[in-house]
Structure 1
Amino acid sequence: MALSQTKSTKMGMSRLLRIFVFVGAVFMILLIIIYWDEVGATNFYLHATISGPHPSRLTPHRRSDPEKKTDEDKENSFLTDIDAFVNQFLEGTIDPTEQVRGEPTPGEAHNQSSEKSEEKFVPRREWKIHLTPIDPEMKQRQENRKQLLQDFCSNRSLFDFPGKYRNFDDIPNKELDHLIVDDRHGIIYCYVPKVACSNWKRIMIVLSESLLLDGVPYQNPLDVPQDLVHNSSLHFTFNKFWKRYGKFSRHLMKIKLKKYTKFLFVRDPFVRLISAYRNKFEQPNEDFYRRFAVVMLKRYSKYTNPPASVVNAFAAGIRPSFTNFIQYLLDPKTEKDTPFNEHWKQIYRLCHPCQINYDFVGKLETLDEDAEHLLRILRVDNVVEFPPSHRNRTVSSWEQDWFAKIPLESRNELYRLYEADFKLFGYSKPDKLLHE
Structure 2
Amino acid sequence: MLGKMALSQSKPTKMGKSRLLRIFMIVGAVFMILLIIIYWDDVGASNFYLHTTISGPHPSRLPPHSRSDPEKKADEDKETSFLTDIDAFVNQFLEGTADPTEQVRGETINQSSEKSEEKFVPRREWKIHLTPIAPELKQKQDNRKQIIQDLCGNKSLFDFPGRSRTFDDIPNKELDHLIVDDRHGIIYCYVPKVACTNWKRIMIVLSESLLIDGVPYQDPLDVPQELVHNSSLHFTFNKFWKRYGKFSRHLMKIKLKKYTKFLFVRDPFVRLISAYRNKFEQANEDFYKRFAVAMLKRYSNYTNPPASVVDAFAAGIRPSFANFIQYLLDPKTEKDAPFNEHWRQMYRLCHPCQINYDFVGKLETLDEDAEHLLRILRVDNVVEFPQSHRNRTVSSWEQDWFANIPLKARNELYRLYEADFKLFGYSKPDKLFHE
The bucket for the TM-score relative to the shorter chain is 0.7 to 0.9
**Match status 1:343 vs 2:347:** no
How many residue pairs end up in the alignment? 357
Q: Secondary structure at the match of 2:361?
A: strand
The CA distance in 2 between the partners of 1:424 and 1:83, in whole Å, is 35
Q: Secondary structure at the match of 1:355?
A: coil
Structure 1 residues 310-367: Cα deviation after superposition (integer angstroms, max 9, x where no partner): 0110111100000000000000000001110000000000000000000000000000
Aligned to 2:131: 132
- TM-score, normalised with respect to structure 2: 0.76
Match runs of 1:86-165 below 5 Å: 96=61, 104-105=101-102, 130-165=129-164
How far off is 1:131 after superposition? 3.0
Contact 1:148-1:426 at 8 Å conserved across structures: yes
Match runs of 1:183-332 below 5 Å: 183-332=182-331
Aligned to 1:167: 166
How far off is 1:132 after superposition? 1.4
Q: What's the Cα RMSD here?
A: 3.1
Q: Secondary structure at the match of 2:51?
A: helix
| One-letter identity of the residue aligned with 1:279 | N
Contact 1:149-1:354 at 8 Å conserved across structures: yes
The structure-2 alpha-carbon separation of the partners of 1:96 and 1:323, relative to structure 1 and needing over 3 Å to count, comes to: closer
The CA distance in 1 between the partners of 2:139 and 2:196, in whole Å, is 24
| One-letter identity of the residue aligned with 2:45 | A
| One-letter identity of the residue aligned with 1:341 | N
Q: Percent identity among equivalent residues?
A: 85
The structure-2 alpha-carbon separation of the partners of 1:408 and 1:38, relative to structure 1 and needing over 3 Å to count, comes to: same
Contact 1:348-1:420 at 8 Å conserved across structures: yes
The CA distance in 2 between the partners of 1:278 and 1:346, in whole Å, is 18
Contact 1:177-1:238 at 8 Å conserved across structures: yes
| One-letter identity of the residue aligned with 2:310 | V
Structure 1 segments of 4 or more deviating over 2 A? 27-36, 38-42, 77-85, 93-97, 102-106, 123-131
Contact 1:263-1:360 at 8 Å conserved across structures: yes
Q: Secondary structure at the match of 1:80?
A: coil
The CA distance in 2 between the partners of 1:169 and 1:280, in whole Å, is 33
The CA distance in 2 between the partners of 1:254 and 1:375, in whole Å, is 23
**Match status 1:80 vs 2:51:** yes
| One-letter identity of the residue aligned with 1:41 | A
The CA distance in 1 between the partners of 2:246 and 2:100, in whole Å, is 39
Aligned to 1:41: 45
Aligned to 2:401: 402
- TM-score, normalised with respect to structure 1: 0.76
Structure 1 residues 153-178: Cα deviation after superposition (integer angstroms, max 9, x where no partner): 00121110000000000000000000
Structure 1 residues 79-122: Cα deviation after superposition (integer angstroms, max 9, x where no partner): 4349957xx9xxxx89958xxxx99357xxxxxxxx99xxxxxx
The CA distance in 1 between the partners of 2:50 and 2:207, in whole Å, is 20
The structure-2 alpha-carbon separation of the partners of 1:152 and 1:279, relative to structure 1 and needing over 3 Å to count, comes to: same
Q: Secondary structure at the match of 2:150?
A: helix
How far off is 1:33 after superposition? 10
Q: Which has the larger radius of gyration?
A: 2
Contact 1:185-1:207 at 8 Å conserved across structures: yes
| Structure 2 unpaired stretches of 5+ | 1-27, 63-98, 104-113, 116-121
The CA distance in 2 between the partners of 1:299 and 1:82, in whole Å, is 50
How far off is 1:432 after superposition? 1.2
Aligned to 2:17: none
| Structure 1 unpaired stretches of 5+ | 1-23, 45-76, 107-114, 117-122
The CA distance in 1 between the partners of 2:309 and 2:34, in whole Å, is 59
Aligned to 2:19: none
